[in-house]
Amino acid sequence: MTLITPSTDESAGQKLRDLPFMDLYVRIDDKGKGAGARFRSPGRDYSNNWSRLLPEKFRSEINMIADQLRRNLANPDSSYEYDGIRFRQSYQKLANGQEWVTLRRINTHVPTLEELSLAPHVAAQLRRLGQRDGLILISGPTGHGKTTTSFALLADYLRRLGGVAITVEDPVEYALDGPVGEYGYCYQVQVGLDEDWATPLKRALRWTPRYLFVGEVRSPRAAEQILRAATTGHLVITTIHAGSIEESFMGLMHLAEQAIGGAANFMLAQGLTAAWHQTLSPSGPFLRYIFTEEHNNGDPVRALIRENKVGMINSYIDKQIARMEVMRGVDPVTGKR
């Protein structure tokens, strides 16, 4: 859905696109169209007032947006474009009868791993994963950069290593379709309204992709397809909302078990390549991570998953992080070299 750029002569800094924000909250029902619109700062400082009333000078633009959104609610959770800005939209009718849409601003620039401000030794490890098969599972809270990191990885692998990538998303966020580097190519698939995610995933595997990105694990059959792809020669990157690495494993296994029963933990153990939990801070992403040993079925993380002892993985995560810190010459206690 696209809205024509407003034909106004407002000075620099007076248009909505010039306002730094992450989310817009827009009321769209006829009784209060545009009234009380709010925005959320893109900053990560929790001492800031994240939710604020939108200044009155943006009222005419918000009214235009509200009109457009109201007329195009066939797919209430989709993408939206206004004045060159892409958004992910989500509609809700509230208990008091008011109707609101949240617009999450999408940064269309796919960053490099260096631009993510990851620790250099972590970025190097993530870059090496592009030569492996299996599952990369990225967890974290909403709005903490899981999709951004996923696309940075995918673009890096395609530029350096080539191959075919397919993304399955709802909606498509970063634009990566077409040639990437000299030998890479990406096809992006947007899941249709109410379509079962497993169906486009199954179709995607018939294209023999080297890389597969799934925007979010949402259903038992999709979880099954993800695990099957991860154990049949593909590198699969997917995201899941979870509070920790262990919770992400349990969430994925719970979904997959509804489709394939007790084999879910064995498939996850076999297919797992890496997992991390990501949160954003003003200085960049903070990752707690775990990497499995390639071609080693006796890897302790794999063994704990097979034995349904996921809760015991935390201590192994701490040991692996400490070992990597020591290897780069950092005291794991003080954080100093």
Block mean pLDDT (10 aa), the chain, length 337? 41 74 91 87 61 90 92 78 88 93 87 90 94 96 89 97 94 90 95 78 92 90 93 96 95 95 94 95 85 91 93 88 73 47
DSSP, res 192: P
Q: pLDDT value at position 13? A: 55
Structural domains of the chain, with CATH = 2-106 (no CATH), 114-327 (3.40.50.300)
- Measured CA to CA in angstroms, residue 264 lies from 223, 261, 269 at distances of 9, 6, 9
Cα atoms in the Cβ-side hemisphere of radius 13 Å centred on 14: 8
Distance of CA 164 to the CA centre of its chain: 20
Q: Which two tokens stand for residue 223?
A: 């979880």
- Measured CA to CA in angstroms, residue 56 lies from 15, 90, 314 at distances of 11, 23, 49
Q: pLDDT value at position 1? A: 42
C-alpha–C-alpha distance, residues 245 and 140, integer Å: 9
Select from 85, 77, 78 the least CA-distant residue to 58.
85
C-alpha–C-alpha distance, residues 280 and 51, integer Å: 18
Select from 29, 153, 35 the least CA-distant residue to 97.
29
Coil vs helix vs strand at 32: coil
C-alpha–C-alpha distance, residues 328 and 337, integer Å: 8
Select from 148, 143, 157, 132 the least CA-distant residue to 295.
132
